[in-house]
Structure 1
Amino acid sequence: MAHRPGRPGLRPSLYISVDIEADGPIPGPYSMLSLGAAVAGRQDVDGYVAADPEADTFYRELRPISGEFVPEALVVSGLDRDRLLVEGADPAAALGEFAAWVRGVSGGAQPVMCGYPASYDWTFLYWYLVRFTGGSPFGHSGCLDMKTLYATKARLPLRAVAKRTMPRELLSARRHTHHALDDAIEQAELFSNLMAWPGV
C-alpha cells in the first residue's frame, strides 16, 4: 500500500481485543469476574498489520465487589464466585496491572479496545478502570465494536448481524469458550479478518 503523505501528526492505533466475564448485567451492583485481552494489530496511515493474537495477552480473575449476582451469568462463564471471593485478585491491583500492560504494549500508539459486541465489555471495563485506577488508558471513547464494523462493511442493519450470518472465512477457527482470554484471542482474529475484508 502506498504511503499517504501530509499527515505526520497522526498517531497509529493499537487495537486490543478485550473480553470480560461478569456475574450480572451492569457494573457496580454486579462484578467483573475475569478480564482477558490480546493485541489484535496496529493501524497507521499505511494500513493495518495483524499481530499474532497469542503473542501479547493479559488475563486476571477478580474478587467480586458486591454480594449480588445473577446465577445464570455464572453458568455461562463457569467461574466459581465463592473461590474468587478468596482467590480473586484485588480489583484495584488487577486493573492497575492491566492499565500498565496496555501502556506497555501500545508504545507510541493510541490503544483502542475492540470487542464483539463491545458495549457490554466496554461498560464493565471502563467503569472498573475509572473506579479503581482513576482513569482509562483508552480514554473515554477509545473502543471499536466489531459488530458495527461488520454491519458497515456488509451494508446490513446492525440488528441483522450475528456471527452465524458472517462469511465463514471471517470467523476464527477457535472455539468461543466463555473463558475471557480464549475469547479475546478468538475475537482478535475476527477483528484482523474484518480489517482485511473489503466488504460487499
Structure 2
Amino acid sequence: MTLPPQYANSIQFSFGDSPELAEQLLALVLSGKKTATCGALRDYGPGKEPLPQVGRRDIVRNGAGEPACVIETRGVEIKRFDDIQPGFTDREGEGDYAAWRAGHEAYFARNGGFSPDMEVVCETFRLLEVLPAGRDLYNQVASPIFIVTDIESDGPTPLHNSMLSFASVAIEADGTLHGEFEAQLHQRPDRTPNETTMAWWDTQPEAWAATTTDPEEPSVVMPRYADWVESFPGHKVFVAAPMIFDGLWMDHYLDEFAGTRVLSGPFKGRQIFRGGGICLYTMAGTLRGAPYLDWGMSKLPAEFYGHIAHTHKAIDDARGFANVLVELIKLSRALPPISGSKSDFR
C-alpha cells in the first residue's frame, strides 16, 4: 500500500507480539477504547525504536502487517511498572487493573523479562486517521459519541449578537450517556443585543435567569469545552436542532476562542469533531416521511424527547434533543441499507 505523502517517513509498528494480538489491540484503538500504550524502556534507543515524542504521528499496522491507522502522541512518561496507576491503565482499554497487570507481566516476561521495578515508557495518543487497510475493522468496532448541543443567544446571528449559554450531552447511539457540559457566557462588548429577541426573553423570566447566572468569558469557556469534547474516546459528532442555528453559533465561538470548528474538513490545526455533523431538524423531517413544509422538531411525539419539556434552558433542551437522536437512529437502522460505489462521489 502507498501511504499518503505526509506519512511516508513515519515510524510503523504493530501492537503486541503476535498477529492475533496486533489485530485485537488495533480493534481497541479503532473503537476509541485504547488511547494509551506502554513498552519496556530497554526496547528503545540507538539501533532500536526511537522513544515516542509528543506530536509525532506513527503508523499502526494490522495483524497482516498492513498500515491500518495513524496515531498522534499526546503525552510520554517513564515510570516504574509498579508506579503505573489505574488512571493510565484504564486508557489502555484492556480490562481492569488486575487484568491489565496480568497481561503486561506475561507480555514483558516473554519479551526480555519482567520485574516490578522495571522502567516503562507510558504513552498516550489519539487516533488521527484510519487508512484503507483499517477501514473494514473500523466500521465493525467504531461507535462515535454524539455531542448533542443547544444554545441560547440575545439575537439571531453571531456576527452581530452574543451567545448567552449553551449545553451539550455526550451520548452514544444506544443511549449510553458519557457526560454533560453547560456554561453561561458574558455578552460580548463588540456585539449588540437584538431588540426583538430581548422582547421575547422578557416573556421567559425563569429561562433568562438560568441563562444569565454566573457567566464566564467565552475565551475561558470555549477552550475548556474543546478539551471536554476531546476527553471522550473515538470520534465525536456534533448534533444540533437545527444545525444552521445552534451549529453556526458553536462553530463561530469555537473558531474565535478555541482555534477549532464544529465541522471537520481539510483544515489545518485542531479538529475535535468528525464530519459535517447532524441536523436533527432535517433528520427528523426525513425519517418521519413528512413533506418539507411539515418538518419541525415540534412535530415529534413527546416520548421521543423522553417527556423532557423544551424550557429554553440549554441543558434541558440538549437532554431532550439527545433522546430524540437515539429514537431517530432507531428509525434509521430499521430502514433497508443503501450502498454505492466508490466512484459515486469524489
Structure-2-length-normalised TM-score: 0.48
* 1:11-69 C-alpha deviation (Å, 9 max, x unpaired): 4321111000011111031111101011131xxxxxx32124xx510011001113411
1:95 aligned to which of 222, 234, 238: 222
> What is the aligned partner in structure 2 of residue 124 from structure 1?
249
**Distance between the aligned counterparts of 1:9 and 1:165, measured in 2?**
36
1:162 is the counterpart of 2:296:
yes
* 1:152-173 C-alpha deviation (Å, 9 max, x unpaired): 2222233311234334543330
Distance 1:171 1:9, change over 3 A: closer
> What is the aligned partner in structure 2 of residue 178 from structure 1?
312
**Distance between the aligned counterparts of 1:151 and 1:179, measured in 2?**
24
Q: What runs of 5+ residues in structure 2 fail to find an aligned partner?
A: 1-134, 266-274, 336-346
Equivalent residue letter for 2:137 = P
CA shift at 1:113, angstroms?
1.1
Query: What SS is found at the alignment partner of 2:323?
Result: helix
Query: Mapping of 1:40-55 within 5 angstroms?
Result: 40-41=171-172, 48-52=173-177
1:64 is the counterpart of 2:191:
no
Question: Contact 1:110/1:138 (CA < 8 Å) preserved in 2?
Answer: no
Query: What SS is found at the alignment partner of 1:173?
Result: coil
1:7 is the counterpart of 2:136:
yes
> What is the aligned partner in structure 1 of residue 168 from structure 2?
37
CA shift at 1:137, angstroms?
6.2
> What is the aligned partner in structure 1 of residue 327 from structure 2?
193
1:20 is the counterpart of 2:151:
yes
**Distance between the aligned counterparts of 2:307 and 2:277, measured in 1?**
24
Structure-1-length-normalised TM-score: 0.79
* 1:56-89 C-alpha deviation (Å, 9 max, x unpaired): 1001100111341124424346436xx67xx521
Question: Contact 1:111/1:137 (CA < 8 Å) preserved in 2?
Answer: no
> What is the aligned partner in structure 2 of residue 144 from structure 1?
278
**Distance between the aligned counterparts of 2:237 and 2:319, measured in 1?**
15
> What is the aligned partner in structure 1 of residue 42 from structure 2?
none
Q: What runs of 5+ residues in structure 1 fail to find an aligned partner?
A: 1-5, 42-47
Higher relative contact order (CA 8 A, sep 6+): 1
Question: Contact 1:92/1:133 (CA < 8 Å) preserved in 2?
Answer: yes
More deviation in 61-70 or 154-163? 154-163
**Distance between the aligned counterparts of 2:281 and 2:287, measured in 1?**
10
> What is the aligned partner in structure 2 of residue 3 from structure 1?
none
Query: What SS is found at the alignment partner of 1:30?
Result: coil
Aligned Cα root-mean-square deviation (Å): 2.4
Q: Percent identity?
A: 22
Equivalent residue letter for 2:225 = F
Distance 1:164 1:35, change over 3 A: closer
Equivalent residue letter for 1:98 = Y
More deviation in 175-184 or 153-162? 153-162
More deviation in 94-103 or 131-140? 131-140
